Amino acid sequence: MPAVSDKASRHWFVTGASGGLGRHLTEHALHKGDRVTATVRRPAALEDLRETHGERLTVEMLDLTRPAEVDEVIGRTLRSGPVDIVVNNAGYAVVGAAEEMTVEQIRDQIEVLLLAPMMITRAFLRPMREQGGGRIIQISSVGGQVGIPTHSSYHAGKWGLEGFTESVSREVRDFNVHLTLVEPGATRTGFASALQYTTETAVYRDNAVGQTRRYLETADENLFTGDPAKLAAAIYDTTRRPSPPLRLPLGSDTYSAIHAALTERLTALETQKDLTESVAFTH
């Protein structure tokens, strides 16, 4: 069977398509002649695209924190025909000190950012394997490799997604199923305006937590330099490549941030080389 990337028209499954990058990806795929099943939380969010593209767009209401609902939507999607490309895009961030976050906020972050993509990925692996291939696009973040104050639960979800994806990618590559982690930087998608904030406590007001919170609360849109339409086009292009990258960093700020984080990590590792090796048995 031809590789998925060679098919003239493909079927996409995109979560979180109401706005931002998810909507741009949906629109770009439709413009290219593909078919899209898009999940949303607002019924009318894609009405204009449905009017333009007709039956090539299927819109499904979906709350990712409800596993039974996720299973139902995926089952209905697969019954409508093979899915070639899955995009786990839905996500948001809670901003504040870890100590300030409620159990509910932490649990919801992990459910949306990590557990839901894991379950959706698992649900599509067998059908993709049996049909001869497929692509799974995980929308991670520069925050999947770089940590900042105020984003502990968000980072837990994204770093977890990175580890899960790297492992699964090695399990299924022999079946022509390829996984790619997309790591956008600051992108003008409305993500910042949708940030949720913890109830601030005085002890964190003047340290790195408070400073980061203030920066995000007052951030001008011009600080978000990533163009979501260009990101969507770049992601689409990788789905046409026979051997897509495992990680796809996107954004003028992303390369420098990830490069600095990895360099710092490697430098720290080198300083501990002797200690690291000293704990082995000697014979």
Domains of the chain: 4-256 (3.40.50.720)
Amino acid at 199: T
Q: For residues 154 and 162, is the Cβ–Cβ distance under 8 A?
A: no
119 token code pair: 């379950």
* Catalytic positions: 140, 154, 158
Distance, CA of 145 to CA of 259 (rounded, Å): 10
Model pLDDT for residues 39-82, shown as the tens digit of each residue? 998 878 999 999 999 999 999 999 999 999 999 999 999 999 99
Model pLDDT for residues 123-178, shown as the tens digit of each residue? 999 999 999 999 999 999 999 999 999 999 999 999 999 999 999 999 999 999 99
Q: Give how far Cα 97 sits from Cα of 150, 157, 158, Å.
A: 5, 16, 17
Question: Taking all residues of the chain, what is their mean pLDDT, rounded to a whole number?
Answer: 93
